[in-house]
Amino acid sequence: MHDGRGIDDGAAQAGGEASADAHLREQRLGGETLYAGGFVELHRDLVRLPDGQQATREYIVHPGAVAVVPLLDDGRIVLVRQYRYPVAKVLVEFPAGKRDAHESTLQCAMRELREETGYTALEWAWGGAIHNAAAYSSESIWIWFARGLRAGAAEPEQGEFVETVTLSAAELEAFELRGDLPDVKTQIGLHWLQSWRAGRRALTWLAAEDAAGL
């Protein structure tokens, strides 16, 4: 049974093979779905701890999400402002959304950018993956960069209210320094953008028509 966790890519993380981390790893003994709603799926598993004792682990099973760092030809960046109910705040964020079944991370990135902002992009570059709530969620956020943007009409989903804003990296860094950029994927995407522009991070750009099958 697939239990929703990232088993496949778990072994080689952080410089340690699974066998070398036997003193840290937990083994799944069984589990159940506590709740499967319209948005959130909650699981509780029984695990064996490294010392042989047993414990329970409660966590959200999440399909993963993408975030897009969309770069305008003049250097500004396209973001969205969106009300986030759980924290009761309007947040400035990179366009983002959950991956649909049978969709690659890039297909998801292309769709979310178009739906939320109307933009399409001529070129795409893979940024990397992050875990935003590893204590209680299986979520990965896959970050893609987009450039060669062409404006179009946004197609928000039913019940989704977002507005597009364009800002420079300097304006976003000022937001961050005064505490007004609390969204983690947005701070990290901004840092990656700055390290790419400074020549410390490499990005490999693919033409959209070549990349669409990825």
1, 2, 15, 73: which one contacts its own copies (CB under 8 A)? 15
For residue 175, state whether it binds its own copies (rule: CB under 8 A). yes
What minimum distance in Å lies between the beta carbon of 45 and its own copies? 7
- Shortest approach of its own copies to residue 130 CB, angstroms? 5
- Is 51 an interacting residue with respect to its own copies (CB under 8 A)? yes
Is there a contact between 66 and 105 (Cβ–Cβ < 8 Å)?
A: yes
CB of 12 to its own copies, least distance (A): 9
The three-state secondary structure class of 16 is coil
Q: Which is nearer to its own copies, 53 or 204 (CB)?
A: 53
Let me know the angle formed at the C-alpha of 124 by 40 and 190, rounded to the nearest 5 degrees. Answer: 65
Measure Cα distances from 190 to 19, 112, 159 in Å. Answer: 36, 18, 28
Residue 127: count of CB within 10 angstroms of its CB: 22
Question: Residue 200 interacts with its own copies (CB under 8 A)?
Answer: yes
If one asks whether residue 152 binds its own copies (CB under 8 A), the answer comes out as: no
Closer Cβ to its own copies, 104 or 120, answer by number: 104
Q: Are 70 and 166 in contact (CB under 8 A)?
A: no
Amino acid letter, 78: V
For residue 30, give both structure tokens.
């069984």
- 133 touches its own copies by CB under 8 A: yes
- For its own copies, which stretch binds (CB under 8 A), given 104-112, 114-122, 148-156, 182-190? 182-190
Token digits for 187? 């701070």
Q: Which of 67, 68, 69, 82 binds its own copies (CB under 8 A)?
A: 82
* Amino acid identity at 200: R
Give the Cα separation of 106 and 72 in Å (integer).
19
User: Binding to its own copies by residue 73, rule CB under 8 A?
Assistant: no
Q: In the complex with its own copies, which residue's Cβ is closer, 78 or 188? A: 188
